């Protein structure tokens, strides 16, 4: 997995998709038709467009539903008050804003995840 940094404050979703699909972030922005904030629905659509297998839905983290996939897009409620997408891949956080993080994620509270079944290397 190669870290892709977001191009502006709002392109964390596009950066996560670029990492998963092994594409240039500018191509993902073009394909998604936005360089602004993204919804989970938009992430579903672009993953499907790129034919990347994913879980059916975003799942709230709980004791019953811990993060079970080797790769997941995480919904993070940041300490500064905004919502952020980051990628968990093989035990490391590939955060488009803060870089690669090993160990505990301290920038915000991870509240849900979308399992990704295949990542293009």
Cβ–Cβ under 8 Å, residues 120 and 52: yes
Name the pLDDT band for 121 (thresholds 50, 70, 90). Answer: low
Report pLDDT for 17. 98
- Over the stretch 15-48, which tens digit does the pLDDT of each residue have? 999 999 999 999 999 999 999 999 999 999 999 9
Q: From the CB of residue 102, how many other CB atoms can be counted at a distance below 10 Å?
A: 8
- The SS3 call for residue 30 is helix
Model-level pTM?
Answer: 0.94
Nearest-angstrom CA–CA distance, 116 and 118: 6
- Over the stretch 69-104, which tens digit does the pLDDT of each residue have? 789 999 999 988 899 999 999 999 999 999 999 999
């Amino acid at each position: 997995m190669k870290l892709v940094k977001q191009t502006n404050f709002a392109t964390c979703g596009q950066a996560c998709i670029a990492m998963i699909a092994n594409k240039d972030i500018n191509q993902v922005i073009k394909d998604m038709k936005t360089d602004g904030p993204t919804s989970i629905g938009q992430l579903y659509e672009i993953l499907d467009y790129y034919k990347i297998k994913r879980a059916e839905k975003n799942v709230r983290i709980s004791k019953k539903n811990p993060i079970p996939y080797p790769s997941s897009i995480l919904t993070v409620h940041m300490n500064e008050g905004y919502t952020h997408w980051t990628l968990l891949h093989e035990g490391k956080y590939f955060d488009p804003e803060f870089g690669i993080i090993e160990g505990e994620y301290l920038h915000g509270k991870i509240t849900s995840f979308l399992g990704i079944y295949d990542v293009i290397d």
